Structure 1
């Protein structure tokens, strides 16, 4: 496994991040334990979760599963860089969601209890709060950092100007501020290249892409469909998206076959080649899916391959950051 620093920090994280959203709803507890153990065997030391994962309001089901895995000992907690999130609705009362100082501090305490740990390495704001001033947010985060309960703070689903505003406010307080932004980013969804990625690079944030395979569409969806294999892209919004973009996906899968690599591996390798990207989040439901993801780290896409991918999946506007992408 390769490692890199998380944004401008000295923290070393693996180039692939283990996403745990399937733990509970899709993968049972023994299966989740096995995946986390195998991830450590592969050298994946970066795990991402959220207090709302598990989709039972207020329960933090996925965090509980991870906490019971840590409780087995064997140095599991010390080896892992743990990221979780705050913002989502954790109860029916108005102050049980959002980014008020009260909710940030209470939610952190609850996550620590469920995770059976004394600290969170990367505490991420799951969404931006338009109602809460940055002074209040940073006061709460500073308190948690001072108490040793949080080491670094990150964002998720922020716009570029949100990152700039957050860092400006943090700078006034002589606080480190954000060190990472978790955003949707893949070959089919490249909007963040306009402003989010440039803002993150300017302010020293590492990019952590979620949905790197676009709901399974970039994992060989048509090939799996033809072979009669069960795939995420076979139902719901993914099925609609496949129908809409079938020609593009066909061209992509054909190109991957020419390269001699699995489509999922090419999609991850492309992200690993992008400026500012720290680690795409992989969300395996099985050990086999986890093992298969490791090949991406060893793939190097040359200039010709990258240019062909740009032809299949054109960037927004003229490509690159704004305003050049749309102004000239």
Structure 2
């Protein structure tokens, strides 16, 4: 496994991040444990979850926690990332990013995860009502207590990253080390300002939905073959992007590569990207994702993908982040 540094940190993580959102709702606990064991066997050490994941809130963290509790070095070999933000109950301070909820949410996640620390504690969304000085105060206390090692963000705009880092610098803090964003060939908006901001501040980008909910996983071929799945169920998405998807799947056939592997391999060439999140429901899906790490896309292939899925720069100009201005 060719490990990568997470942004500007010295932390080394696998180039694929194991997403756990399916654990509980779509994958049984036993199968989830098997998938996590297989991830370690293949060298994947970076796991991502959130306090709100599961058929009930907290379920996925509980599943991961019971896997850690089996011992065998499972926790020590895992770079554990989880998130907070969403309301966990109907009470007014059981969500968002107040200092009160940062403390409560962290303690609750630690209990569910059966661990004494979180390696990467991510804010699942920007909290427009809470000032950064309060957020960083809350995060600083957790770091001083040894409960959190690094702080990260998710679904932030470039402006939010700049504001967060400016506030952290005033307090002489490390600040954010990563940003988890929606990013794939069909959704390249983060290239306008989020990726340039991440590069500037040394943040590792962790793309979620790398295959656009299955649309980039060979959905047309699956549809033609009568294979049902998340992507084939998205009739509106298929029709909206049919021309690009037809060209994409034809190009993947020319390459002799699976469309899912091409989509992930492309992300691994992008500036600031550390590790796309894969969300396997089975061990077979997990091992299939590993093929993307051996796929090398040359410049001609990257240019062809740009033709099929153009970057969202207005008037075809660039480079980002000033692209909109001329």
Structure 2 matches for 1:1-328, cutoff 5 A?
A: 1-56=1-56, 59-235=57-233, 238-317=234-313, 318=316, 321-328=319-326
| Secondary structure in 2 matching 1:181 | strand
Give the unaligned 5+ runs of structure 2. Answer: none
* Total equivalences in the alignment: 324
Structure 1 window deviating more from structure 2 (317-326 vs 70-79): it is 317-326
Normalized against structure 2, the TM-score is what? 0.98
Counterpart contact for 1:89–1:97, Cα < 8 Å: yes
| Secondary structure in 2 matching 1:314 | coil
C-alpha distance 55-325 of structure 1, shift in aligned 2 (>3 A): farther
Give the unaligned 5+ runs of structure 1. Answer: none
Task: State the distance in 2 between where 1:321 and 1:79 align.
Answer: 39
- 1:49-105 per-residue CA deviation (whole Å, 9 max, x = no partner) reads 00000042xx40000000000000000000000000010110001111100000011
Kindly report structure 1 stretches of 4+ aligned residues shifted beyond 3 Å.
319-324
C-alpha distance 323-249 of structure 1, shift in aligned 2 (>3 A): same
> In angstroms, what is the RMSD of aligned CA positions?
0.9
Normalized against structure 1, the TM-score is what? 0.97
Counterpart contact for 1:316–1:325, Cα < 8 Å: no
Counterpart contact for 2:17–2:278, Cα < 8 Å: yes
C-alpha distance 320-11 of structure 1, shift in aligned 2 (>3 A): farther
| Secondary structure in 1 matching 2:106 | helix
